[in-house]
Structure 1
Amino acid sequence: MIKNYLKIACRNLWKNKLFSLINVISLSLSMAVGVIIFTDVKSTFDTDHFHPELDQIIRIITQETREKEQTKWASAPLVLASHLENVSFIENTVKVRMAGKYNLQTDKGDVPIDIKFSETSFFDVFGFKLLAGSVQSLNNPSTLFLTEKTAERIFGASKALGQTVKLENLGSYTVGGIIQDPPLKTHLPIEALLSMNSARMLEKEGRISNISNNWGDFKSSAVYAYVNSESNLKQLNATLQNFNRNLVETNLQFLAQPIEDITPRSNDIFNDRDAGNNWESIKIQLFIILSLTLLSAFNYISLSLARGFSRAQEVGIRKTIGATRRQIIFQFLVESTMVALFAIFLTVPCVYYLMYHIPDMELTFYWDPILIVGLLLYAVITGIVAGAFPSWLLSIFKPIQVLRKMQNIQLFRGVTIYKAVIVLQFSVTIMLMILVVILADYEIKNHSIISSTVPPNVLKLDLKGEKYETLQNEISRLGQVETTLATNWYFKPIKLGKSTVKLKDKKLGINYVSIDPKTIETEGIKFKSGHNFPDNIPHNTEQYVLVNEAAVNLLRSGSETILGHNLLLDSNYVQVIGIMPNEIIGERRPIIYRYLPNEITTLIIKTKPNTELAVTKSIQSIWTDNFPEKTTNLQSLRDDYSSSRERISFFGFFALVVFIIAGLGILGIASYSVEKRKKELGVRYVLGANKIKLVWIATKNFGVLMLIAGVIGIPAGLFGGNMIKQDLGSNLVDLSFINIGIGFTLVVILGLLIVLSQTIRAGQIEPVKILKVE
């Protein structure tokens, strides 16, 4: 029996190739996105499951109580580990210090890598494996371990083991081991590993902060314990209470967290950025999978019902020769499930394409039995959901009805649900298209302003924590250099700080930027009111500040100006002596401009036209003479200011996927509508309506649906655009009628083209064939 069902299903799918292809494409697109999201969800639950004896590895977290407020941190003081080593049921401990990003210096420039310090027990407790080198060499303070991906990024195909590398501010190290990339995600990602002995030496030299024996410095370190049995968890929590610490302004308590409980990430635990998604994100991901599945299922329903007339006679004949309704339903479900299974073959290449070509897609896709079973199950469920309604509806046909007059069959009384879903689909598409247009317009305007404001002959030199005076003097003496500015601001912030401002009864947090007063004079920036810093401004005592217009609006009360007023800035009083215009390149955030020479991080170098290459070589030579331990980080300021287009790519792709799925849905309803109105259109043709009139009659209802979708989609697009504007803090995000109209019009044009591909058949009907049964 099953064999017959499959044989009939294959024949029907082959007979209706276009129908089958459209459904396969629609389902494969939604399934590809669904598979990617499902892979991400699965990876969250698989995190750290490559470690042996996972249930015996415990992370110690810190509960900090400050002014009666409790905060949990995914970290613990390193000194705690030495106390845990004496606990009888703890077999081993691991200390990990997170140092952050450091530049590894190469011939091709700096390569930022994430540095962690640990000890040999790291490899005893966790499941990280060495591809080369010895675990014991991690005791050597001059040894560096790299992961295979990091080693390939730095050395390419060359052998990394034994190579000597230089880490900025940390010194030179020899690569003593290559760590195999873990097969699954981990809450403790590794790029480079140094010895904890090396950390102690660097602390003595003052290159890194001394936290090894400090209970209060716990936010950049982690402590793990390997216990005899998972049943020791309660006992460990009780033991940890013996190590509570009362510090000057805070109280520290320590809690045991099984490593398996780290993911999904808890919102109650801070400083746990690599713990994966939280439950809220997982629920959203599952909702997206369900939504895409239902949208694709709706497309299948639309096209199935559009073909209902051709299948009605088949159903009538099969019922006449004894087929039951259950058998009819099962037949249609087999067909829809086969379509979904066929879609898998197109889903897999779609998944690989999306993984490697969509911006910010860092998820690793790999096959395992659970994923394969999950994919097959997903396809079967999708097929059943898609085929359930058409199979039920077509199975209720009565043989005498379908064999006498098929044109009188009412497949579905009204198309209200169809219209509602079509409106919903196109509302979402209109919203996304409007966002894409708004972002594209922002990027175009931003690029235009950068090109007209920042000349191509301006370079930015990262000082990397060094003093700028001597360097600036030497660079200024170069013949090709016009101006050098020691500043963290050049038409927009290069590096921002955050301060607390108090003016009368107002106390606010506000961004500040350290600025060279010569920047304002050199670039001819005009004040809205007030004046620049005085020429004799002291280096060590801050007396004056400038503010921009946005900061004025934030700080003032009513119509009162703040020019000339004193502000309590952090702990010092300063006077506002000038009001700057808002940011010229794409920003309107409130900013205070301060003269803080000790915080300058950048030299801005304006060169004579067409001398950038020669100046770059000269500056690199000067830098090497002054700071031989550090490589030069020099780049064109215009290139640095050019914003990324990844947002446009992502929104554009997502809008395209939703539009294709929605377009396939309206293709089905258009086909069904034309088929349903053939008799009406035939009568109109006999009564004198021309072909253009018939096409208009068949198309106008869809135009109305587009307008209704616009009523919903346009406000949603405006809402999303306003969120983008607030997020970017830029007045270049244009929510004008033009951008809204372009987004809406693009969707309408493409939608109507899809509709016309079906309704144009209305002008090709032959009344004799349509009306001969009457």
Structure 2
Amino acid sequence: MLKNYIKIAIRNLSKNKLHTGINLIGLSLGIGVSILIFFFVQFELNFDDFHHDSDRIFRLSRHQVEEGEDLRSYSTPIITAPTFENEFPQIEATTRYISSVAQAYLDESTTQSQRLMMVSPEFLNIFSFNLLEGDKDQALDDKFGIVITEEVAEKYFGDSHPIGKSIRLKMGDGFEAYTVTGLLENLPSNSSLDFEILMNDMNLDYTIGEENQNSWFNVFGDTYVKVTDPSAKASIEAGVEAMMKKVLGEEYEEGEYYFTLQPISEIHITDDPITGMAETTRPTLLWILAGIAFLILLIACINFTTMAIGRSTTRAKEVGVRKTMGAEFGQLVFQFLTEAFLTTLMALVFGLILAELLVPTFNNLFEKELSLVYGPLQILILVGLVLVITAMAGAYPAFFMSNLRPIKVLKGNLSMHFGKQALRKGLVAFQFFISFLLIASTLIMVNQMQAIRNYDLGFDQEMLVIVNVPEVNSTSFVKSIAAGFQQAELYRQALVGRSEVQSAGITISTYGDDAFWDAGFPTEEEEQFNFRVNFVGGDYIKTMGLELQEGRDFNPNPGADSSAFIINETFAQAIKWEDPLGEMMPNTRFKPHQIVGVVKDFHHNSLYKEIEPVLFAKSPETFFSGINMLMINSAANPKVIAKGTGNDFEAFRAVLENEWKKVFPLEAFTFSFMDQTVEEQYKADERLGKMVFLAAGIAILIAAMGLFAMAALSIAGRTKEIGIRKVLGASSASISWMFNKEFLFITVAGVLIALPLSLYLMQNWIAQFAVKDWPSWLNFALLALGGVAFTLLIVSAQAFKATRMNPVKTLKDE
């Protein structure tokens, strides 16, 4: 019996090649894109679940409350890990996770900057990274033992065996040999922790002094804990206050300094702007992508349904004859569902091929390493997808056609106007609604991102290059910065003598959210004043193209203006200075200093954030003397920023590299563009915009095929009417308009609902920007006219073809 159902289904599908083809293309596109998105969403939701005890692993979050504001961070004091392990028996193990950079020898004549992670010996027992060689209980016990990934092993040792070999790293004043004691499989692509080399945190002695290592108010990197039971989280957090009273004594004030535990499963998927060192994804992105996948599938299913109903007149006689011959309702339903199932199954095969072809493009767009792995869960999802689509697309036509009355069908009383026309029109209108909703949303996103790209940030990005100078490690933070500035000044001096270089400056921070450091001090009124700070040197203000509103620039000579500060307009307004020049900070703890200039407000953060108070200083020592809060959000090594003359970038780059080799002959030369650094801030929303644009294109394509098929079916059912009208003198234009007005009403209805709804839905997305720009009404008007023209073109082409038929052929049977 089942064999006969399949045979009949195949015969019917091959007989109606146009409609089968349209259904296959639509469903294949919908399934292919949906599979890709669903696998991506599953990949993101499963971040860090490869750790065997992921439910028992937590990251510490530090909370410092000042003036009622919770200054939360995942950076923690060095002393946190051993203190928590000693104070809470519920904690099985702890590890620090502190990033560092060191120069590493590739060979005897070349060094390069190498990323490192300093961790506690228990790191490999807490996390389930796959150690290919070495003993996880001992690999990180030795101060000069390191664990590297396969990728790093290939870079330093090629195809040779790495265990027991050494990498020379500059951790202090000179290079030390670090022996490879462990080889890790390359990290899973769904890991929040990203590193290349692990080393014992005893190496912190090279960069952090003993006083800072024992301080509760200096923070460096993250701290992870592994508890004996997931439920221990609450009891540990409840005991933090008592622990803080014990370790801080009289310095502790209740509720002003404490820690909480964040499950590792909650690190990756978050809207929290504070992310620590972990890569994160906003949950709204996953919701939007899942919604897009569902909408595209829904449009494809609507195509299937509307065409099945549209073909009811041609299938009605088949149903009538089969019912007369004794076919039961259930048998007919099963027959139509079999056709829907076979169509969906074929579409799944084509969809899987399409998804595999699109994976590289998708990974490039979202900068992921997604691969389509078909495990038991994935196969279950695919089977469920086929069954759901079969039910969505085939159930209504199957039950509707199987319920037709044979006597009415065989007497020829059934027509295209049999009462289900409103449903077909509604489904087609819904298709257009979804398509134009996606297009309008794309328009809003493109317009906003264009406005962001063209917005004047208050500084000049053109021909501006950032060069990282080698980091100087020191146990004194101030000395480390000072030594870094001395190295950077040597390179800057080499550049300013070249005609290809317009100017050059030195800076700690460049651009981006939280790139400038957070700082604060108590005013004379005992109110906390928080702002952003950047340490600069050379011709920084000039090179960046910042505009001085009042006063003067820093003296570019090293050592000069060590007591001078420059602020922005917002700083002066926030601290209520009407004439800032010559003012002193309202706190006597600061060493002698003076405000020498005020720059016009500029955006050092991305345009997601409002302009904040900003202070520039040349001397860290003068600045540090007066503050009571400092949060370091970016690397502390200085960078040289250089502005080129003219437009010949290759000549400019050659000068930068040649002078680098003279000053730092053993160091690798690397640079980045300021405009690229700016663009990096908006990559997530740029990607989302491209994905919505792609979805809108697919939705329009599927809707166009559906409109084409529906117009063809509608016209095919009224060929005799067209013949009669032509015989009576009707023009081709009037007949074309007769069909066009029916579909134009559907189009206009979809557009009129989609456009205002898109404005409403996109409010939350556009609200995240400090600078907002909505498209003009003209853009939406052109979009609506485009939709009308789109419908006119498709329907008119079908109608024109029908009006060219000879009426004699259409009426000869009457």
Same fold (TM over 0.5): yes
Q: Quick one: which amino acid aligns to residue 222 of structure 1?
A: Y
Deviation at 1:162, TM superposition (A): 5.5
Q: Is structure 2 residue 637 aligned with structure 1 residue 616?
A: no
Between stretches 151-160 and 398-407, larger displacement belongs to 151-160
Count of residues paired in the alignment: 745
Call closer, same or farther: CA 1:52–1:596 in 2, change over 3 Å.
Answer: closer
Q: Which residue of 334, 346, 359 maps to 1:342? A: 346
Which of 139, 142, 149 lines up with 2:141 in the alignment? 139
- Please report the TM-score for the alignment, with normalisation by the length of structure 2: 0.74
Deviation readout 1:452-509 (Å, 9 max, x if unpaired): 96654x5432345510434433433446544323357999999545567999999997
Q: Name the CA distance, whole Å, in 1 between partners of 2:127 and 2:696.
A: 42
SS for the counterpart of 2:562 is: coil
1:360 aligns with 2:366: yes
Give the Cα separation in 2 of the matches to 1:222 and 1:275.
16
Greater shift in the superposed pair: 748-757 or 490-499: 490-499
Residues 138 and 144 of structure 1 are in contact (CA less than 8 Å); yes or no, is this contact kept in structure 2?
yes
1:604 aligned onto 2:645:
no
Cα pair distance change 1:391/1:361, threshold 3 Å? farther
Query: Which segments of 5 or more consecutive residues in structure 1 lack a partner in the other structure?
Result: none
CA contact (8 A) 1:150 1:191 kept: no
Matched to 1:476, the amino acid is V
User: For residues 521 and 54 of structure 1, what CA distance do their matches in structure 2 show?
Assistant: 51
1:47-446 matches, within 5 Å, as 50-52=50-52, 57=56, 59=58, 77-80=80-83, 82-83=85-86, 93-100=92-99, 102=101, 113=115, 115-119=117-121, 121-124=122-125, 126-135=127-136, 136-148=138-150, 151=153, 164-165=166-167, 173-181=178-186, 185-186=190-191, 189-195=193-199, 198-203=200-205, 205-206=207-208, 211=213, 220-225=222-227, 227=228, 237=235, 241=239, 244-246=243-245, 247=248, 248-249=252-253, 289-358=293-362, 359-360=365-366, 362=368, 363-405=370-412, 408-409=415-416, 410=418, 412-414=420-422, 415-435=424-444, 437-438=446-447, 441-442=450-451
CA contact (8 A) 1:244 1:253 kept: no
- Note the C-alpha offset of 1:321: 0.8
Which stretch shows the higher mean deviation, 736-745 or 401-410?
A: 736-745
Instruction: With the length of structure 1 as denominator, give the TM-score of the two structures.
Output: 0.78
| Deviations 1:241-261 (CA, angstroms, capped at 9, x unpaired) | 4984324245688888987x7
CA RMSD of aligned residues (A): 5.2
Separation in 1, partners of 2:123, 2:606: 47
Aligned CA distance change for structure 1 residues 308 and 199 (closer, same or farther; 3 Å):
same
In structure 1, how many angstroms separate the alpha carbons of the residues matched to 2:512 and 2:281? 34
SS of residue paired to 1:354:
helix
Shift of 1:97: 1.7
Aligned pair in 2 of structure 1 residues 161, 722: CA closer, same or farther (>3 Å)? farther
Maintained 8 Å contact 1:244/1:254: no
Q: Is the 8 A contact 1:512 1:594 kept in 2?
A: yes
Is residue 460 of structure 1 aligned with residue 461 of structure 2?
A: no
User: Is the CA contact (8 Å cut-off) linking 2:146 and 2:182 kept in structure 1?
Assistant: yes
- Alignment counterpart, residue 695 of structure 2, candidates 639, 654, 668: 654
CA distance 1:666–1:160, shift in 2 (3 Å): farther
Seen in structure 2, the aligned counterparts of structure 1 residues 721 and 122 have a Cα distance that, compared at 3 Å, is closer
Q: Contact 1:430–1:714 at 8 Å: present in 2 too?
A: no
SS of alignment partner, residue 139 of structure 1: coil
Tell me by how many angstroms 1:184 deviates. 8.2
Letter in 1 for 2:611: P
Q: Name the counterpart of 2:505.
A: 485
How far residue 742 of structure 1 moved from its aligned partner, in angstroms, is 5.9
| 8 Å CA contact retained: 1:64, 1:250 | no
Paired with 1:567 and 1:17, the residues of 2 have a C-alpha distance of: 83
Taking the aligned partners of 1:687 and 1:507, their CA distance within structure 2 comes to 88
Residue 366 of structure 2 aligns to a residue in which SS?
Answer: coil
Are the aligned partners of 1:454 and 1:638 in contact in 2 as well (CA < 8 Å)? yes
Specify the SS of the correspondent of 1:317: helix
Task: State the alpha-carbon separation in 1 of the partners of residues 102 and 709 from structure 2.
Answer: 56
Are the structure 2 counterparts of residues 707 and 208 from structure 1 closer, same or farther at C-alpha, using a change threshold of 3 Å?
A: farther
Question: How much has 1:744 moved relative to structure 2?
Answer: 5.2
> CA-to-partner distance for each residue in 1:134-167, whole Å, 9 max, x for gaps?
4333222223223335656787777655664466
Gaps of 5+ in 2: 472-480, 621-636
Seen in structure 2, the aligned counterparts of structure 1 residues 711 and 476 have a Cα distance that, compared at 3 Å, is: same
The amino acid that maps onto 2:133 is: A
Q: Does the CA-based 8 Å contact 2:116-2:195 persist in structure 1?
A: yes
CA contact (8 A) 2:496 2:503 kept: yes
Query: Residues 280 and 272 (structure 1 numbering): CA distance in 2 closer, same or farther, change over 3 Å?
Result: farther
**Cα 1:430–1:126 shift into 2, 3 Å:** closer
CA distance in structure 1 between the aligned counterparts of 2:65 and 2:350, rounded to whole angstroms: 56
Equivalent position SS for 1:486: strand
What code does the residue aligned with 1:3 have?
A: K
**Residues 488-527 of structure 1 correspond to what in structure 2 (within 5 A)?**
496-497=516-517
User: Contact 2:96–2:222 at 8 Å: present in 1 too?
Assistant: yes
Deviation at 1:696, TM superposition (A): 3.3
Deviation (angstroms), 1:760: 4.1
Q: Match of 1:23? A: 23
SS at match of 1:408: coil
Which letter does structure 1 place at the counterpart of 2:10? C
Deviation, structure 1 residue 33: 3.3
Identity of aligned residues (%): 21
Q: 2-side partners of 1:53 and 1:594: how far apart?
A: 45
1:35 counterpart residue number: 35
8 Å CA contact 1:66–1:250 kept in 2: the answer is: no
Distance 1:674 1:254, change over 3 A: same
CA contact (8 A) 2:268 2:278 kept: no
C-alpha distance in structure 1 between counterparts of 2:373 and 2:337, whole Å: 30
Please tell me whether residue 539 in structure 1 is matched to residue 561 in structure 2. yes
Matched, 1:686 2:727: yes
CA 203–747 in structure 1, closer or farther in 2 if over 3 Å, else same = farther
Match of 2:708 in 1: 667
Q: 1:271 to 1:424 in 2, by over 3 A?
A: same
User: One-letter code of the match for 1:94?
Assistant: A
C-alpha displacement of 1:128: 2.8
Contact 1:434–1:742 under 8 Å retained in 2: no
Alignment check: 8 A CA contact 1:325 1:396 kept: yes
Contact 1:99 1:117 in 2 (8 A): yes
Mapping 1:744-763, distance limit 5 Å:
749-750=789-790, 752-756=792-796, 758-763=798-803
1:78 counterpart letter in structure 2 = A
Measured at CA, do residues 175 and 623 of structure 1 come closer, stay the same or move farther in structure 2, by a change above 3 Å? farther
Structure 2 vs 1, CA of residues 128 and 442 (structure 1 numbering), >3 Å: closer, same or farther? same
Contact 2:511–2:678 under 8 Å retained in 1? no
- 2:627 aligned partner: none
Aligned letter for 1:596? A
Higher mean Cα deviation, 616-625 or 283-292?
283-292
How far does residue 265 in structure 1 lie from its aligned partner after superposition? 6.1
Distance in 2 (CA, whole Å) between partners of 1:505 and 1:405 is 92
**Match of 1:612, as an amino acid?**
F
Residue 630 of structure 2 is matched in structure 1 by none
User: For residue 698 of structure 1, what is the aligned residue in structure 2?
Assistant: 739
Counterpart code for 1:378? L
Does the C-alpha gap of structure 1 residues 83 and 578 become closer, same or farther in structure 2, counting only changes over 3 Å? closer
